[in-house]
A and B are shown apart, each in its own frame.
Chain A
Amino acid sequence: MRTNEKSRASATLVTPASAPVRRTPAPPAERMIDAPPFPENVKNYINNEQLRANMRHATHTIRAKRSAVAAELPNWEELRTAAEDIKNHTARHLDYYLEQLEANLIKNGAQVHWASDAAEANRIVIALVQAKGVDEVVKIKSMVTQEIELNEALEAAGIAAWETDLAELIVQLGHDRPSNILVPAIHRNRDEVREIFLREMKLYGKAAPEDLDNDPKNLAAAARLHLREKFLRAKVALSGSNFCVADNGTLVIVESEGNGRMCLTLPETLISVTGIEKLVPTIADLEVVLQLLPRSSTGERMNPYTSMWTGVTPGDGPQEVHVVLVDNGRSKVLADTTGREVLRCIRCAACMHACPIYERVGGHPYGSVYPGPIGSALTPQLRGFNSAIDKSLPFACSLCGACAEVCPVKIPLPDILVYLRHRVVEEKKRGHLGLEQTLIGFFGWVMSKGRRFGRFGTMAGLARRVLGKEYLRSLPSLGKRWTASRDLRMPPKSSYRKLWKKRARRKGGA
């Protein structure tokens, strides 16, 4: 059980003598999919006061920024609807648009690769890097490469992948995992970042200045110097994409720091790995999504850097461009007419920033690179419902609806989660009957007849008469989960149904 992020991070520095020498900082050893069920995993994080404070500060700040800039646009709702339509249309005709994208990429000098799963995508990327005869690459922040665990696959092949996004760098040097899809180091504060930089940078390249303080400006400067030598050395860059325009073969990356622009322009070879749901049909569609994404994510009117590239431009930028189109479960999700609405996601993170549950523990307890509401709705569908964590994720939600309210592509997240709960339960029903099913089955029977429910009310009233208390402070079994933190109000002696009957008799007699 993990209780302290910091002690875990430093513990991983002790490398056994027999282990092969790593090129990059090792992430946590446990596989995400082996995480305990969400309610159990929450216990490993929720009492970490530092984490709670960091998360609360970060989510509340970004939440306020988002709602301020969304409110500025009089046509915000129309933009959301337009984006919903664009993404739905693209998904319905994905076969057509994917082939159109491929043809246009090839026409413009890019090479296109298709990967049905993570292993195939990783094999393709490793072979491409090895063909260039290099043993290191620079990387732009990319969720799909986190999803397919590309960095570790590269490491195993003797290739060092250096994260160049500031937050991803903090995560990588911290032997950590991202806890947010937009702000991967959202769970860290500046003091922790300083510690990580001082401890780790010197092991993997240019050391941080010894007198480094916790001023964000100085932390960014240390990162800039550390990364600069990697940018200048790199022959190959890896990226994802925010959008792929099918009818002209243009890929789009939006970012804040300029590290992406460096990766997209300096190295000779660029390999872009992208999920097949990232397509939009035409360049005009960017007008909609590029208004929604920055406002929904960082809460900015426009992101500082928007890079677009179309295959190879002779004499300018990378002269060898590859695009790896990754399925990894997406076509399976697309086949589910209810569940597929999650494929509209443009990875803005507004849902997690709005989520009261995510706010209290961050992304790690979700056991997925996609945490929060979208993670709970997307991850089990992508990975299948086989692991304990994936079966628990659809229930990691109080159905408050704050996420659906802010989603720029109008994914009805609570509805999807309720639907996925049904899928989990249907599967569970094939196994043995547990306490939950017995109770639910009993109440389902009670609630199917007014008279039965009336009798239940009478029994509840009798319980009150016997116990004679207005509140119970402790209950056994499942009830303990309620009374551990709050008292249980007891029913009064008479249900309303009884009172109504008495009243009707009184009236009738009057």
Chain B
Amino acid sequence: MTNLQPTIAPDTLLTQHLPILLVIVPLLSAPLIVLLRRSFLSWLVAMIASVAAFGIAALLLQQVLASDGVIAYAIGNWEAPLGIELRVDAVNAFVAFIVALVGVFVLPYCRIGIAAEVRQEEHYLFYAMLMLCLCGLLGILLTGDAFNVFVFLEISSLATYVLIAMGRDRRALVASYQYLLMGTVGATLYVIGIGILYLQTGTLNLADMAQRLSGVGDVRATLAALAFITVGVSLKIALFPLHLWLPNAYAYSPSAVSAFLAATATKVSIYVLMRYYFTVFGAVTVFDAHNTGMILLALSLAAMFIPAVVAIFQRDVKRLLAYSSVSQIGYITLGISLGTVGGLTAAIAHLFNHALTKGALFLVLGGIVLRCGGANLDRLAGIGRTMPVAAFAFVIGGLSLIGIPGTAGFISKWYLVTAAMAEGQWWLAGAVMMSSLLAVIYVWRFVEVAYFQAPPDDHPPVGEAPLSMRVPALLMVGACVYFGLDATWSGEVATRAATALLEGWQ
């Protein structure tokens, strides 16, 4: 257990410690930012940390895909299941890659975006919170310990509440409080679920728990734990009808935060649900013995339609996108509810594609809000003439949301439809199409206002958003198109991840 070598080559240090570095780089940057205090310096540290995190996440993903196995890292050199370990396979490495990728897009954008929305003396606190949120999300993904998931969940959630409350609109405070209440209920239910599992198995290590649960057999307590964890995590996912916190939280938080949260927070919670369903409880318990799949399927269908209809009637584009997020989450959980490799591939692919799409849309919208002074459809009239590039980028993102061929959204819907058909569920394929038509309507509302209405009298002069906001937004829109045209890489990784998830950690 002991290792008294005084020095170690830097490259082995790096490759050997990749999992923990991904968590502690953002963690260390947060207190550093608080000590530095200056707005520019804190942005710089956050920027460096997020670029480093992205580099580490990319290396880690590459390492996992090359080794075709599980990378375990014993924190403090205490071997699992006694100690806490980080456990990385194709699934969490891929989701961590997505989260770190979004971080790299959002941070350069913050420099001007946040200056306009957050008071100067609070900038360093904003960046510290953003880094803590990133650390928490990455921690949830990488850890192999049930209680550690909760700790990181709280780190990311508490940071998120503060980030939302920093919005310029005074309603941001109420939105944050609402999320705090719902999020706390969700976390509490999750902990109760873990408590039951801990009583049954005597371990908190997820891999060990999975092994021991299979020996316990099918008992009521397992079902109770499954129910608590499902509902608790679903609150965090904003699975319909537990989504009530989401629209306000996305609508009133600063634009950069909306983009970051929409692309990462719910995705990470979906990962937690998948991990519990397939690795801990096992697909047999969840889908065959208890028919959880049917419940999830019903909720997913409701999510695909009801929030999409609500989105059509929104006047505020940020709220429109938020309701669309709830609707899109339905596609992901639909993929999970099928319980097959195909369904999971679709779910994981949509995790990636929707993160790109929604992140891009919120980033573009942030630039528009900065120039138009609001996200209300009335303020955006004629935006196609005053901000042609931004309006066009938004439309591209919208097309990806609908799932038009050539955009990332199409790829995941294609996977989803194929997976449904492979199961013989033709009507599900039809439902996905129908729900996409609803997306056409809410995207059209923007197109109509942007291109077919005259700008309001007090419209800002013709011009685009500042360069530091435009470039990340356009790059992300570009990524939507790129991964729509060439889905070889994303599709392959999603398939690998789905297979790894079904194989489990044994």
Are chains A and B native binding partners rather than an unrelated pairing? no
